[in-house]
Structure 1
Amino acid sequence: MSRDIDVLVLGGAGVDTIVYVPELPLPYADSYMIDSGIRPRAGQTGDFVAAGLSSLGLRTHHVDFLGDDPEGDLVRALHREHGIALTAIPQPAGTKRAVNLVGPDGRRLSLYDTSRAHADDRFPEDTLRTLAAAGRHAHVSITHPCTHALPVLREAGVTLSTDLHNWDGENPYHEPFAYAADVVFLSAAALTDPERTMRRIAERGRAEVVVATAGADGAYLLTDGVITHVPAVAPPAPVVDSNGAGDAFAAAFLFGRLTGEPPHRCALYGAVAGAHACTVPSTETDAIGRDELLERAASFEALKSPKAS
C-alpha cells in the first residue's frame, strides 16, 4: 500500500489570543494597558507540530474539528500559507480557542475555552482509516476525540506519538495516550519524580522512547531502559516566548526518527528546534527549516566533541 503521508497529525487545531503582560503571575488590577496589542492568531499544539514537520520537509496532513467561523478561517489560512494538507471536520460548537498570557521572560499562562467541544465528538471512522492507511506515522494530540481514534490508528499499522504536555503523572485522562504511543513526549514541569513517571510509561505501555522536556534544563530521554540527560541548546537570539517550544521539539524529534537517526540525535534535533521556537514571538509562525536544523545540530556536536590534541 502506498503511504504518501509521512506524518498524520490528529487534533490540536485552534486559535490563541496572545496578550503580552508585564509579569506573571499577573497581580490583580482593575485594568492593564497592553501597548503591544491583543492579537488572535491560528496555532495550537497540532497546528504547531504540523507546521514544524512541514518546514522540515515531511509530508504532513492535519485532521481536526473546525467551526464555520472566523477562527476556523484563520486555521485554514495558516495551513494554506504553509502548504499543509488539512481535513477539517465540521464542528457546530466552533473552533477551539484559548488566551495566552506571555510574560517578559517568555513564560506563558494559557486559558483554554473548553466549550468548543462535545463528549460525543468523534472523527469519522472512514476518513480516519483512509488517512491512516496512507500514513507512516501519526502524532496524536490529547484532545477528547483522539482518545477514540487510538484503536483505529493501531489497526492501520502506523506508529504513534503523543505529547502529554504538563501531565502530573496521576490524571487518568492521559493514560490511554501514554500507553498507546511508541514515542511519548511530556513536560517535566508538573512531575515530582520524572524518572518514575517515564519508566512507568515504558513499562505499562508500548513506548520505545519517552522524552521529558525541562525547559532551560534540557530534557531527559528514556530508551532501552536507560535515562540520559539531553543538554539544552543556546537559543540563536533573545528568548521572547516559550509558546510552541515543546511542539517544535516533538516535530524535530520525529523528523530525526523518520529519517533513521538514533534517539540521542533525534533529541538533539528537538533541543535545537525548541531553542529556535523560543526566539519567535507568539504572534508569528516561523518553524525551523531542515538545513538550519542540521547546521545548528552539527555545530552543537562539534562544540561538545573532544578537542584533538
Structure 2
Amino acid sequence: MSSRYDVLVLGGSGVDTIVYVPELPLPYADSYMIRPGIETRAGQTGDFVALGLSSLGLRTHHIDMIGDDPSGDLVRAFHRDRGIGFTEVPLPGGTKRAVNLVGPDGRRLSLYDDSRSRESDRLPAELLRPLASASRHAHVSITHPCAFALPLLREAGLTLSTDLHDWDGENPYHEPFAYGADIVFVSATALTDKERTMRRILERGRAEVVIATAGAEGASLLTADGLVHVPAVTPRDPVVDSNGAGDAFAAGFLFGRLTGEDLDRCALYGAVAGAYACTVPATGSDAIDRARLLDEVAAARG
C-alpha cells in the first residue's frame, strides 16, 4: 500500500519578527531608525522545511504545537495559504516566537523566546501514530516535544532526518536527535572539530549520512565511505538574506533522497535550494520549485 505522505515534518512552527540592522554585531545606541522596517511573519525551521518539500512536489504534512493566539493564526494561515496539511496541538504557553536581526550582508542573529515551552509539552501519540503510519519519512525538529516522539516514529518504520542547527557537538540535549536519525544535518558554525563530531554521529547513532553546512564555504558530507566536500552554488540573483538557507538545503537534499538520487546529486539539490533561499528576503517566505531546481542543477553540472 502506498503512503499518503512522502514526508511528515514534526515541530519547528513559530513566528519571527524581522529587524534589519545596519551591522552585526549591533553596537549599543539609544535608538536606530530601521529600514526597510520591522515585520512579523510566520515561519520557523519546521514551517520552512515543510514549505520547501511541498514546493518541490513532495506530499508533505506538518504537526506541531501552537497557541490559540494571533501568532498561531499566522502559522495556521501560512499552511492554509500554501496548501500544506497541518495538524495542530494546543500549546498552553502560546505560539513560539523569535526576533531575527538581519545585517546588510544577509547574516542573521536570532533571539528565541524560551518562555513558551513547558516540560509537559508533548505531541499526542493518538494524533502522531496514524500520521506516521501514513508517511514514508519523518523530518524531526529539535524541539522538546519531538524528542519524545522519536521512539514512536522508529516503531512505525519510518526513515528519519533531523537538523541539529548550531550544535556545539557537546550539548547532550541534541544527542537523541543526532543518534536517532538516518540523515543528520548540522551547521558547522559552532563546531570546534567538525569532522570529529560528524564521525561520532555516524559511529554512535543510526545515521547513514551526516551533512555539515557552512554557508558560502559549501558543505561536508560523511558516510561510511568517507568525507567529501560539497561546493556552494552561486545564486542566480543577489544574496539578501541567509534566513532559511539551512532549511532549504535540507528540503532539497531530502527531495533527492526520496526520489532515488545518489548522495552526490542529493547534496547538489540541497546546495541549489539553499542558494535560492539566500535570495529571498527574511520578511518573505518562498521556496524553489521542482522545475527551477532541476534547471539550476542542470546548469550547475554544465
Q: Give the TM-score taking structure 1 as reference length.
A: 0.97
Q: Indicate yes or no: 2:245 matched with 1:241.
A: no
Q: Deviations over 1:19-42 (max 9, x none)?
A: 000000000001111121111000
Match of residue 193 from structure 2: 193
Match of residue 218 from structure 2: 218
Q: Distance in 1 between matches of 2:114 and 2:190?
A: 21
Match of residue 85 from structure 2: 85
Q: Distance in 1 between matches of 2:97 and 2:217?
A: 30
| SS of alignment partner, residue 22 of structure 2 | coil
Using the TM superposition, give the Cα deviation of residue 238 of structure 1 relative to its aligned residue in structure 2, in angstroms: 0.9
Using the TM superposition, give the Cα deviation of residue 90 of structure 1 relative to its aligned residue in structure 2, in angstroms: 0.8
CA RMSD of aligned residues (A): 0.7
Using the TM superposition, give the Cα deviation of residue 245 of structure 1 relative to its aligned residue in structure 2, in angstroms: 0.0
- Output aligned runs, 1:1-309, within 5 Å: 1-302=1-302
Q: How much identity, in percent, do the aligned residues show?
A: 75
Q: Distance in 2 between matches of 1:35 and 1:194?
A: 37
Structure 1 stretches of at least 4 aligned residues deviating more than 6 Å after TM superposition: none
- What amino acid does structure 2 have at the position aligned with 1:203? E
Q: Contact between 1:49 and 1:250, CA under 8 Å: does it hold in 2?
A: yes
| SS of alignment partner, residue 185 of structure 2 | strand
Which consecutive residues of structure 1, in runs of 5 or more, have no partner in the other structure? 303-309
Which consecutive residues of structure 2, in runs of 5 or more, have no partner in the other structure? none
- What amino acid does structure 2 have at the position aligned with 1:161? S
Q: Distance in 2 between matches of 1:96 and 1:174?
A: 19
Q: Contact between 1:11 and 1:146, CA under 8 Å: does it hold in 2?
A: yes
Q: Deviations over 1:89-111 (max 9, x none)?
A: 01121100000000000000000
| SS of alignment partner, residue 273 of structure 1 | helix
Q: Distance in 2 between matches of 1:236 and 1:265?
A: 19
Q: Distance in 2 between matches of 1:35 and 1:213?
A: 30
Q: Distance in 1 between matches of 2:284 and 2:51?
A: 12
